[in-house]
C-alpha cells in the first residue's frame, strides 16, 4: 500500500519565500522592508501605509507579487491582524488566491493565526474555500497541528470538521497521519467520523498505524469501536497488519490485543463485564484463612499453642476480617467518576456549543478533552477503558479489586493495603514461630525442610501463599506510600513525559502538586484526598497563560 502523497500545499514555498524576504536565505539585507509585500510580511504598518498612500503602491494590495503571493497572505501567515485589516480596507481581496488556489485563510491556518482568521472571516472570507487539492482551512490546520486554530474556526464559525479533500481525506485523517494527538482529541470530541475510508480505503487508524504513533492509535482505539480495527484498506490490510508490516511491533501487539473481543465484552453486561480478578483474590484470601486456622492454630499434629501466640493469631484474624471489609468497600466505592459537564442541544448535532474559555475546568491542555465521554475533565483525570468512565485523580485500574483507584477511594485502597500487609505479616510471623519452635526428631538422612513438608504440608502451603501475598502487598504499599508523600499518582509517575503540566519551563520534570512530604501526607490522611485546586491551579493557569502568549 502506498503512503499518503502530500501534494504541496504551498507551505514549503511560503517558508522559503519568507526566509528570502527576511534575509535568512543569504546575506543580511540592510533594509528587508523594500515593498508592500515585505512590509506586510514583517507587520510594519507604518511602512506599508507609506508605500500605499504616498508611494503609489495601492495596486499592490490587489495584485500578487512575483511568486504569485498576495500581501494579505503574508500578513495572515505571520498573524498581523492590524495589517490584514488595513489591506482589506484599502482594496485587498479577502478571497484572493495564489497559484495553488489557497486564500489568506489557508495561510493563517499554517501558523494558527486566530486573530487574522477573525479579521478575514468577519470581512467575508469563504470559510470552506478549497485549494487545488481540495484542502480547506480545517485540513491545513490539521496538517500543521494547529489545534487552537482548528477549535476556533469550528466553535465560532461552524467550520465543517468532517470535510473531505480530493482524496476523500478528512481533517481527522490528516491529524492521524501527522501524529497530532491533540487535534485528534478535539475532532473526536466534536464527533468526527473515524471509520470513514479515503480513496485508498484507509481510516484514520490505518494512517496512524502506518506512522507507528502509539499515542494517536491509543486515542483512536479508546474513542472508537471494534469496527475500525477490523476494516481493511484497498490492499486488504487491517491497521494491525499495517503496523506489523511497517515494523512497529509494540504497536502491533497493542492493536492486536484491542482487536480481540474478550469473553466479558461478548457475554456480559453492566458491572459484571468488568468483574476482574476480585473473586480470585477473595478466594485466595479465604483459602489462606482456612489453612491458617486448620494447619497453624488448631492443627492436631502441632504442640499446644501458647497464650502469646494465640493473642497474635487472633490479632491476625481480626485484621483479616477488617481488611475484607475494606476490600469490599474499595471494590464497590465510586473512585471519582466525572459526570458530564456538557450536553448536546440536539442528540444529532455535534458538540460545537462547548465554550472552553468559560469552563472552570479548562486550563488549556487538550488532553483534558475526553473524546469517549465527551466531557472536559480536570487535570490528573483519565479515561479508564475498562470502567468506561473518566476518573478524577486517576491512579490506576486495579484488576484485583475490579475497580479503579481514584480521588474518592484511594484512601480506602491505601488502608486496605496496610491492613492486608499487617494481616499477612502477622500470619507469617505466627506460622514461622509455630514451625520453628515445633520439637522434631530427624533421621540421619532427613532435613528439616523435608520433615516439615511431609509432617505439616498444610502449614508449609500456608507459609508459601502468605509470603507470596506479603511480598506483593509490601511492594504495593511502599509504592503507594511514596507516591502519597510526593502527591503524584501511579499514572503520572509512569507517564510523566506525556503530561505537559508535569514539566517546567526547562522541560524537566516538575510536580506542581507537591507541597512537601509532611503536608502531602497530612492532607491525604486527614482529607482523604489531595486538594489540587489549592495546591497548583494558580501555578498551572499562569503556566498555560505564558505558553499561550508565547505561541501567539
DSSP state letters, 7-28: ---SHHHHHHHHHHHHT-SSSP
Active site residues: 398
Q: Which residues pair with 396 in a beta bridge?
A: 405
Vertex 150: Cα angle to 130 and 346 (nearest 5) = 100
Residue showing cell 468488568: 274
Contacts of 43 (CB under 8 A, 6+ apart): 75, 78, 80, 82, 83
Helix (H) or strand (E) holding 486: helix 457-486
**What span, in angstroms and rounded, lies between the C-alpha atoms of 254 and 18?**
43
Give the Å distances, CA to CA, from 65 to 38, 69, 98, 131.
Answer: 10, 5, 10, 19
Do 381 and 390 form a contact (C-beta atoms < 8 A)? yes
Backbone phi, psi, residue 37, to 5°? -70, -45
Cα distance between the two ends of the chain: 39
Q: How many residues does the chain have?
A: 552
Give the Å distances, CA to CA, from 534 to 140, 216, 298, 411, 527.
Answer: 40, 32, 54, 19, 13
**What span, in angstroms and rounded, lies between the C-alpha atoms of 536 and 518?**
17
Half-sphere exposure of 225 (CA within 13 A, CB side): 5
Helix (H) or strand (E) holding 232: none
Backbone phi, psi, residue 478, to 5°? -65, -40
Q: Quick one: three-class SS letters along 136-169? A: CHHHHHHHCCCHHHHHHHHHHHCCCCCCCCCCCC
Do 78 and 111 form a contact (C-beta atoms < 8 A)? yes
Helix (H) or strand (E) holding 528: none
Chain centroid, CA 292 distance in Å = 45
Residue showing cell 501463599: 465
Of 299, 291, 341, whose CA–CA distance to 317 is shortest? Answer: 291
Vertex 118: Cα angle to 115 and 120 (nearest 5) = 110
Amino acid at each position: 500500500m502506498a503512503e499518503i502523497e502530500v501534494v504541496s500545499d504551498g507551505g514549503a514555498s511560503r517558508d522559503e519565500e519568507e526566509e528570502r524576504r527576511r534575509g535568512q536565505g543569504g546575506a543580511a539585507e540592510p533594509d528587508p522592508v523594500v515593498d508592500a509585500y515585505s512590509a506586510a510580511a514583517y507587520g510594519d504598518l507604518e511602512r506599508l501605509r507609506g508605500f500605499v498612500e504616498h508611494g503609489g503602491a495601492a495596486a499592490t494590495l490587489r495584485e500578487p507579487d512575483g511568486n504569485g503571493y498576495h500581501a494579505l497572505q503574508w500578513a495572515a501567515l505571520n498573524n498581523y491582524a492590524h495589517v490584514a485589516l488595513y489591506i482589506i480596507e484599502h482594496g485587498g481581496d479577502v478571497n484572493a488566491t495564489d497559484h495553488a488556489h489557497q486564500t489568506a485563510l489557508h495561510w493563517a491556518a499554517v501558523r494558527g493565526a486566530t486573530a487574522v482568521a477573525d479579521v478575514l472571516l468577519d470581512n467575508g472570507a469563504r470559510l470552506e474555500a478549497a485549494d487545488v487539492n481540495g484542502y480547506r482551512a480545517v485540513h491545513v490546520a490539521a496538517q500543521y497541528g494547529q489545534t487552537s486554530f482548528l477549535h476556533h474556526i469550528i466553535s465560532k464559525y461552524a467550520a465543517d470538521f468532517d470535510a473531505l479533500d480530493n482524496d476523500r481525506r478528512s481533517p481527522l485523517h490528516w491529524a492521524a497521519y501527522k501524529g497530532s494527538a491533540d487535534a485528534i482529541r478535539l475532532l473526536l470530541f466534536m464527533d468526527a467520523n473515524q471509520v470513514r475510508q479515503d480513496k485508498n480505503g484507509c481510516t484514520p487508524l490505518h494512517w496512524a498505524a502506518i506512522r507507528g504513533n502509539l499515542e494517536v492509535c491509543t486515542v483512536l482505539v479508546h474513542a472508537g469501536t471494534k469496527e475500525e480495527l477490523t476494516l481493511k484498506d484497498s490492499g486488504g490490510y487491517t491497521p494491525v497488519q499495517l503496523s506489523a508490516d511497517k515494523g512497529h511491533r509494540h504497536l502491533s501487539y497493542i492493536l492486536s490485543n484491542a482487536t480481540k473481543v474478550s469473553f466479558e465484552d461478548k457475554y456480559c453486561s453492566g458491572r459484571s463485564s468488568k468483574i476482574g480478578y476480585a473473586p480470585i483474590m477473595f478466594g485466595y484470601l479465604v483459602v489462606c484463612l482456612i489453612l491458617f486456622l486448620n494447619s497453624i492454630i488448631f492443627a492436631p499434629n502441632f504442640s499446644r499453642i501458647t497464650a502469646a501466640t494465640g493473642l497474635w493469631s487472633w490479632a491476625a484474624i481480626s485484621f483479616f476480617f477488617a481488611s475484607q471489609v475494606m476490600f469490599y468497600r474499595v471494590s464497590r466505592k465510586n473512585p471519582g467518576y466525572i459526570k458530564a459537564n456538557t450536553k448536546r442541544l440536539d442528540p444529532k448535532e455535534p458538540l460545537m456549543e462547548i465554550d472552553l474559555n468559560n469552563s472552570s475546568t479548562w486550563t488549556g491542555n487538550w488532553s483534558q478533552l475526553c473524546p469517549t465521554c465527551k466531557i472536559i475533565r480536570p487535570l490528573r483525570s483519565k479515561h479508564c477503558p475498562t470502567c468506561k468512565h473518566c476518573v478524577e485523580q486517576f491512579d490506576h485500574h486495579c484488576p484485583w479489586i475490579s475497580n479503579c483507584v481514584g480521588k474518592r477511594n484511594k484512601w480506602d485502597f491505601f488502608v486496605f493495603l496496610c491492613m492486608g500487609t499487617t494481616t499477612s505479616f502477622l500470619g507469617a510471623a505466627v506460622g514461622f514461630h509455630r514451625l520453628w519452635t515445633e520439637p522434631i526428631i530427624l533421621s540421619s538422612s532427613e532435613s528439616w525442610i523435608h520433615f516439615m513438608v511431609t509432617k505439616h504440608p498444610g502449614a508449609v502451603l500456608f507459609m508459601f501463599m502468605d509470603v507470596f501475598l506479603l511480598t506483593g502487598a509490601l511492594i504495593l504499599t511502599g509504592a503507594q506510600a511514596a507516591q502519597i508523600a510526593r502527591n503524584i499518582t501511579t499514572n503520572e509517575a509512569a507517564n510523566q513525559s506525556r503530561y505537559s503540566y508535569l514539566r517546567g519551563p526547562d522541560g524537566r520534570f516538575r510536580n506542581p502538586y507537591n507541597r512537601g512530604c509532611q503536608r502531602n501526607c497530612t492532607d491525604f490522611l486527614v482529607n482523604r484526598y489531595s486538594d489540587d485546586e489549592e495546591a497548583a491551579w494558580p501555578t498551572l493557569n499562569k503556566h498555560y497563560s505564558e505558553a499561550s502568549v508565547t505561541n501567539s
